[in-house]
Structure 1
Amino acid sequence: MNSKVANFLILPTLTLSCGILVTILFPNRGKIAVLIGSTTGSLIGTYSLTRQQVNQRLTSEPTTVDSPQERLQFLQQQVYLFQQHLQELAQDLRENQTAVSALSPSETEPEARETMADDQVVINWLINQGITVQNYHIPDENEEIFNKLATYLGDKYSDLSYFYIQLKRSFSKGQNLSVNLASRSKTEITYTTQFCNRMSDYAFLSSYQYDRKNKMLYASPQKKGLVINFITGGWFERFVYLSLCQLLQENDQVYQSILNPQIVLQNGEDFELDILFLVKNKPFWIECKTGDYQNHVMKYSRMRSVLSIPKECSLLVILGIREQLTQELTTLHDIYVANENNFLAIAENLIFGNDEIHHN
């Protein structure tokens, strides 16, 4: 009796177990996973029961031995049943595969696309272009601090530009900083001292003093590489990146992005991008310069062609140049050029102003 109950439970138990197992292993395959798992379980269960039946027939009636012809006929029946199961499974798989192929990627694997990290989506796009990604910026616990400083400096750059030029030179050369603010406006002095206080709080300055009477500012730069890179240009990349993210979010635009990917091009050439967005699965590439842009405009124009990114999807943002010069550089070269004041307007026009901008 117990043996019969156990035999009765074998087939459904294996069918259910295999169905659950395959569903766990392939969570994005839905009904197909259930079908494969349950059918596999059914086949295994049927095979197990058949083996049991064969063994029982061979052992339960020792006094009665089937003839070879009877045993052959019995086995042929079991083979026929297995063949029927396999044919049904193959037919079901073909039908479901056809249905899956007819669906768009967003319908077939929505969970995978939703849970995939933004940077991985962009990396996959680069890989599809034949480009290898060796490294890229991964946010850490200090991200918020750098973002705050970058936003402060970027938002108030018109009042901080005089001080920043000297600050950048100080960090680049590793020299102490001495700035006379006597001729600067009250607003400039306020923002400059506030920014220095913030840098001092975060130990970006190894020493800082402001002489209110003489309006003299004294500071010593921190010599840590991470801080130097931030002050000499990294902040501007962050400011541009954060501003573009805000622009896309305000327009309810889904996007993915990656910062500072170090890549190897199809021809084996090494290169590093500043910022790469995917907007509607189309690239939007941004490079940022805080000075010495003359040596880079031609290089970026050539690289845009190598990357197969349309001119209308590429933007070089140069700190401190005149707006008219941005227009002239855009006309002269195969990349759009902007400054800290007009890059958002230009980016908005390129991304949202023309539905055809992503086509050569």
Structure 2
Amino acid sequence: VWGFFDEVAVQLGDNYETLRLVSDKIKRIQQKGYTNIKIILNKKSQKDIQTITRFCKDLYDYSFVANYFYQEKIVRLTLQTSPKIVNFFNGEWMEWFVFMKLLDFFREKQVPVACLRNLSIMFPNEDRHELDVFFLVNNTTPLCIECKTGEFRKDIEKYSILRKRLKLDETQFLMCVIGLSEKQTQGLSSMYDVTFVNEKNFLQQVEKSLSHTD
């Protein structure tokens, strides 16, 4: 049972350019240890205001925030202090988003998969690692996706080494970094030993990778 983590994550990921105003502010206020947020929307379009207020209302309905109030283009939220909710806005939402979008993708393609979030692995020398999102496609093809909503550059070498230790092809190990441009994903992929994607193009990359294994 997943609660509403999957629904909120997909809503946030599908509308990230508009809703990052909310998620970034929640994350920032959480890190400061405060619980009250004010979001001013007077410079936003009617469409963006509708998207933001619907999202905030859903956060309240699903108990991701303790209180929600909207009046005169100002949203006020009272945050939850539950560690699960804090971790969700601190980046776990991205793992849920990628996981659910991939599940839907493979379901539509009628491709059999086995999948896990936060898969713990241990190497023969007892080194332990956790994989954000792992799929086994058609019982044969592994697919690993590491999800990043913040700074990722310091982790590139770590994931490059991990991919080699797992004996995965570069196309089977993706770093999905929120907000990267298409040009950045292409440039970084050519520079390093992992494939970089963003929240908009990771499904295209997965489809492309799988077509090469058929």
With normalisation by structure 2, the TM-score equals 0.93
Match of 2:197?
Answer: 338
Q: Is 2:32 the counterpart of 1:173?
A: yes
Unpaired segments ≥5 residues, structure 1: 1-139
Match of 1:151?
Answer: 10
- Conserved? CA contact 1:247–1:348, under 8 Å: no
Residues 165-195 of structure 1: CA deviation (Å, up to 9, x unaligned): 2122123333222221111121111111111
- Conserved? CA contact 1:208–1:220, under 8 Å: yes
Shift of 1:231: 1.6
Q: Is 2:100 the counterpart of 1:242?
A: yes
Q: Is 2:47 the counterpart of 1:205?
A: no
Q: Is 2:188 the counterpart of 1:314?
A: no
Q: 5 Å matches for 1:55-134? A: none
1:150 aligned partner, one-letter code: A
Q: Is 2:46 the counterpart of 1:186?
A: yes
The structure number with the bigger radius of gyration is 1
Match of 2:87?
Answer: 229
Q: More relative contact order in 1 or in 2 (CA 8 Å, sep 6+)?
A: 2
Shift of 1:144: 4.3
1:296 aligned partner, one-letter code: D
- Conserved? CA contact 1:316–1:337, under 8 Å: yes
1:192 aligned partner, one-letter code: I
- Conserved? CA contact 1:174–1:221, under 8 Å: no
Q: Is 2:123 the counterpart of 1:265?
A: yes
- Once residues 149 and 317 of structure 1 are traced to their aligned partners in structure 2, the CA distance between those partners, rounded to angstroms, is 19
* Secondary structure, aligned partner of 1:260: strand
Match of 2:56?
Answer: 196
Q: Provide the identity percentage.
A: 32
With normalisation by structure 1, the TM-score equals 0.56
Match of 1:294?
Answer: 153
Match of 2:187?
Answer: 328
User: Once superposed, which parts of structure 1, at least 4 consecutive aligned residues long, lie more than 6 Å away?
Assistant: none
- Conserved? CA contact 1:159–1:187, under 8 Å: no
Task: Tell me which protein shows more strand as a share of its residues.
Answer: 2
- Once residues 256 and 306 of structure 1 are traced to their aligned partners in structure 2, the CA distance between those partners, rounded to angstroms, is 21
RMSD value over aligned CA atoms? 1.5
- Conserved? CA contact 1:233–1:289, under 8 Å: yes
* Secondary structure, aligned partner of 2:4: helix
- Once residues 244 and 181 of structure 1 are traced to their aligned partners in structure 2, the CA distance between those partners, rounded to angstroms, is 33
Shift of 1:164: 2.1
Shift of 1:252: 1.7
Unpaired segments ≥5 residues, structure 2: none
- Once residues 206 and 264 of structure 1 are traced to their aligned partners in structure 2, the CA distance between those partners, rounded to angstroms, is 39
Task: Tell me which protein shows more helix as a share of its residues.
Answer: 1
* Secondary structure, aligned partner of 1:166: helix
Residues 193-219 of structure 1: CA deviation (Å, up to 9, x unaligned): 1111111122221222222x2x22221
Residues 206-247 of structure 1: CA deviation (Å, up to 9, x unaligned): 222222x2x222212111001111122111111111111121
